[in-house]
Amino acid sequence: MRVARQTPAGVAKMECNSSELRRGPWTLEEDTLLTRYISHHGEGRWNMLAKCAGLKRTGKSCRLRWLNYLKPDIKRGNLTPQEQLLILELHSKWGNRWSKIAQCLPGRTDNEIKNYWRTRVQKQARQLNIESNSKRFLEAVKAFWMPTLLQKMDQNSSLSSSSGALTNSSQSCRNSTLPITTLMYNTNNHFRESSSSVSVTSPLDFTKISLQQQPHEITQLPTVTSVYDVNTLCSNQIPSETYYVDCCGHDMEGFNPGAMIGMGRGSFDISSLSECQVANGDWTSDDMADALWNMDDIWQLRE
């Protein structure tokens, strides 16, 4: 995580000439002043706080700095696949309600989520030549991005498992028992990871995951409800609010988003899924500590 930009020239340039108020990057001294004041007096009354703390900043600026950077419970580092998945799902429901979405991701700020959306998600939309707010893009996200995130989560949990019974998806497939990682909400609206399993009859089975409730009502998200086969998947009768997990992407004739790109920009058709080429997903060799996974990994452009 980068610290505030503090080049002397930059700070001088950003300072407000017309008043005593400072603007631009925060200095370490300012951070210390703000943190110390809030630790003694608490948050709120930001304009007064700014004056009393001896900060030549607006109240708004102090509030923003505290909420987005200094607050102790702010989570640092890249978004985990779980968090990315949750953002995608919640954005599909609520749109650009960043603060509302952020409430479901403890330790993450609306600003961070907003930046993630703009830099990562909208980038993918541009590459696909699809409006990021369009239904088509949402379908693409649900068909490709979310499943791969779930797979990533699956493998993360598998690797972190000490039992060794199911070490990765490939082995899971061979055993015909697929660990499915789910996001579980507790009563405080915080999520935690949990794993369950579902039996499959063939490598081409798909697990259907359904999100039936508004997140504030959700007690378990997502919920494994049934198993679909590939014919169902490709029948173009995909209900909204569902997405499909490729439980064993290595072995199946699966999704190659590159092939999707190859279908022609702006011509994404979910019914063409079965025509896609075999996915090349060497997930087991991934460094699971690298939580910064993004769709570039699978949506590589074939120019």
Partner DNA sequence: AACTGTGCCAACCGCACTGGT
Partner DNA sequence: TACCAGTGCGGTTGGCACAGT
Scanning the chain, the segments in alpha helix (DSSP H) are 8-14, 28-41, 46-52, 59-65, 81-94, 98-103, 110-116, 122-128, 135-140, 146-160, 169-174, 230-233, 257-262
User: Residue 241 carries which DSSP code?
Assistant: T
Q: At closest approach, how far in Å is the CB of 144 from DNA?
A: 18
To DNA, the closest distance from the beta carbon of 184 in angstroms equals 24
Site string for DNA, 255-294 (x = CB under 7 A): ---------------------------------------x
The owner of tokens 């990994």 is 297
Cα-based distances in Å from 157 to 82, 83, 195: 11, 14, 8
Ramachandran quadrant class, 185 (left: phi over 0; alpha: psi -120 to 50; beta: rest): beta
Six token digits for residue 10: 């930059």
For the bound state, the minimum distance from the C-beta of residue 134 to DNA, rounded and expressed in Å, comes to 15
Closest CA to 147 of 269, 299, 300: 299
By CB under 7 A, name the one of 36, 93, 118, 174 that touches DNA.
Answer: 118
> What is the torsional sign of CA 161, 164, 170, 173?
negative
Q: Which is nearer to DNA, 50 or 166 (CB)?
A: 50
- Considering only residues 64 through 83, tell me which ones interact with DNA, judged by CB under 7 A: 64-65, 68-69, 78
- What spatial distance separates the first Cα and last Cα of the chain, rounded to whole Å? 33
CA distance 143 to 19: 53
The reply on whether position 216 binds DNA by CB under 7 A is no
Query: Closest separation between CB of residue 225 and DNA, Å?
Result: 30
Answer for which of 56, 71, 114, 136 binds DNA (CB under 7 A) is 114
Q: How far, CA to CA in Å, does 43 sit from each of 106, 107, 223?
A: 18, 17, 38
With contact defined as beta carbons under 8 Å apart, do 209 and 225 qualify? yes
Contact between 26 and DNA per CB under 7 A: yes
Closest distance of CB 133 from DNA, Å? 9
**25 makes contact with DNA (CB under 7 A):** yes
Peptide bond preceding 106 in cis form (omega within 30 of 0):
no
Instruction: Determine the interface stretch with DNA among 104-112, 143-151, 166-174, 178-186 (rule: CB under 7 A).
Output: 104-112
Q: Which of residues 122-161 bind DNA (CB under 7 A)?
A: 123
Which residues are bridge partners to 177 per DSSP?
199
Task: Report if residue 111 touches DNA, rule: CB under 7 A.
Answer: yes
Contact 58, 51 (CB under 8 A): no
Specify the stretch interacting with DNA by CB under 7 A; choose among 110-118, 147-155, 221-229, 248-256. Answer: 110-118
97 binds DNA (CB under 7 A): yes
Contact region with DNA (CB under 7 A), list: 40-48, 141-149, 174-182, 262-270: 40-48
Site size toward DNA, by CB under 7 A: 46
- The reply to whether 110 sits near DNA by the rule CB under 7 A is yes
CB of 13 to DNA, least distance (A): 5
Q: Residue for token digits 């007096």?
A: 41
Q: Which is nearer to DNA, 57 or 142 (CB)?
A: 57
The contact set with DNA (CB under 7 A) reads: 1-2, 4-5, 7, 9-10, 13-14, 22-26, 44-49, 57, 59-61, 63-65, 68-69, 78, 96-100, 110-112, 114-116, 118-120, 123, 294
